[in-house]
Amino acid sequence: MDFKVLADLIENGVPFNRMLGIRVCEIAEGRLKLFIPFREDLIGDVRRPAIHGGVISALADVCGGFAVWTLCKLEDRLATIDMRVDYLRPATAHDLYAEATVRLLGNRMGNAQVMLWSEGTPDLHVAEGRGVYNIRRNPR
């Protein structure tokens, strides 16, 4: 797997990721760390202010799915089968980080755990996610 190509796909190849501003921090086999730079339009609750839960779940899904993809071929295709996000506390008006670790990789499915936190507080998780991803192997 060419991680530079995968990083470019994460940041630029998926229009939704590009709209959210998702950036790659670290990429390795079975592990991925991403972040979304804070912008005012990501706020869901202006009274706190706190980042919208949809932004949090989207980052968890992208991070988990691409972490599984690090163990596949670039030509393979992945799709989310199931995604669970536990919201633990508000994500403050700072950059939002996610780190995924692949827990299980089979021939047709992968499972990843994702931890999310606000900038500057990596030990204070705002959410935890778990995703199951379908892998369609390219026969080439």
Output the pTM of the full model.
Answer: 0.96
CA angle at residue 105 from 115 to 32, to 5 degrees? 35
Helices (H), the chain: 3-8, 15-20, 53-69
- DSSP letter, residue 140: -
Q: CB neighbours (10 Å) of residue 47?
A: 6
CB 80 within 8 A of CB 61: yes
pLDDT in tens, the chain (140 residues): 899 999 999 999 999 999 999 999 999 999 999 999 999 999 998 998 999 999 999 999 999 999 999 999 999 999 999 999 999 999 999 999 999 999 999 999 999 999 999 999 999 999 999 999 999 998 76
